Structure 1
């Protein structure tokens, strides 16, 4: 239960936000909606920095981020995620439920924060990221439901199932990812969370988070190289 609590909180946050959106969403000023998301973005930055600090191995962290960004850019992960979202939306008709359901599912699940939050919950038992994401998604659900309809609420169930499955999988890996390796992965994830927060604050998000996802794999590779005598890393 502890490994899926964050996913459940996130799902509930979306459902509650959707209910508020159905009842009062259209009465909220556009300026307030934008400001609320920016304030939450600032909070996300602080959470990411807290996860990353203090940097136990700055060189490994920097290498992981740079190599991850290089691989993600080469694979064009961010663009592929965007294209997948656009494709999925184009396959859905204009019915109120389908439009809200697909839009909500894509917005809440395609992105680094869902993956990083599930990893944190499964590996460490903490759900700070997913709890923060619940507030973010709940706020987004208020706005989205007022435009796209009640299908957004059903997307909360999908989100809970998706993140819960990832958390359980990460929990199985927690016996392998111990000590230094777990710390390195957490630091890299924290910097990515801070980048997500910056994208919320900036009007035109300039950091392609999808391209950074491979960075989570490089602490494993770098630790393996160190164990085989490459101490200069």
Structure 2
């Protein structure tokens, strides 16, 4: 099975990022600030809508705690930064915002209900509508992000395609494992992480979201065992 939705999503991010880089020098600082504020506020709404799907809040809390500890022990944030740094060297970029742009964009595009549910929907039913809609949204978001962070945002298409493509292929083979309860719990956990992204975009508090990513796996395991 070819994960068509993820391929289209990656292409939309590339196209939007290129346009954002072109517009980079033409955006005054006050325009970039208001764009980030708008993205931050919109991200809060998305995160809240997702987080309110929680069915068992204790499982969600324990998932965040355990996932955060695992992430810290594995030093995922350092691994991601090293990976982005090596990619920056490979492409010969001198953009100071390359690493932050790639990591921030990757988190925004990967941690979300549309990424998870859209990938499952394509894998289980062959329906790419959700991922095509996400592609359109990500394309516009990448314009705004790349206009501020630079070319690093473009390379977020790599983790997006790997992540969503893997979910699609996994869902096509093991769809019977994912009950509505698991999907709701997974969506709610992703929603809280998205709220963390909004805090960063609004420059309220920088949360180490990279090290909280294992909570997305932990919440599935705990829900299966306990829920």
TM-score (norm 1): 0.73
- In the alignment, which residue of structure 1 is the partner of 2:213? 213
Structure 1: gaps spanning 5 or more residues: 228-233
* Matching of residues 7-86 of structure 1 within 5 Å: 8-9=8-9, 11-19=11-19, 21-22=21-22, 24-86=23-85
- In the alignment, which residue of structure 1 is the partner of 2:127? none
Of the structure 1 ranges 13-22 and 63-72, higher mean CA displacement relative to structure 2 is found in: 13-22
Distance 1:77 1:21, change over 3 A: closer
Kept in 1, the 8 Å contact 2:48–2:191? The answer is yes
Distance 1:159 1:180, change over 3 A: closer
CA distance in 2, matches of 1:28, 1:110: 19
- In the alignment, which residue of structure 2 is the partner of 1:138? 143
Cα deviation code 1:62-90 (max 9, x no counterpart): 11111111111111111221122123323
- In the alignment, which residue of structure 2 is the partner of 1:223? 223
Distance 1:9 1:93, change over 3 A: closer
Choose 1 or 2 for highest CA Rg: 1
* Matching of residues 91-170 of structure 1 within 5 Å: 91-93=90-92, 103=98, 107=102, 111-117=106-112, 118-124=115-121, 126-127=130-131, 131-143=136-148, 155=155, 158=158, 161-162=161-162, 165-170=165-170
Kept in 2, the 8 Å contact 1:119–1:166? The answer is no
Of the structure 1 ranges 128-137 and 71-80, higher mean CA displacement relative to structure 2 is found in: 128-137
Distance 1:170 1:32, change over 3 A: farther
Kept in 1, the 8 Å contact 2:9–2:161? The answer is no
Structure 2: gaps spanning 5 or more residues: 123-129
RMSD, aligned CA = 3.6
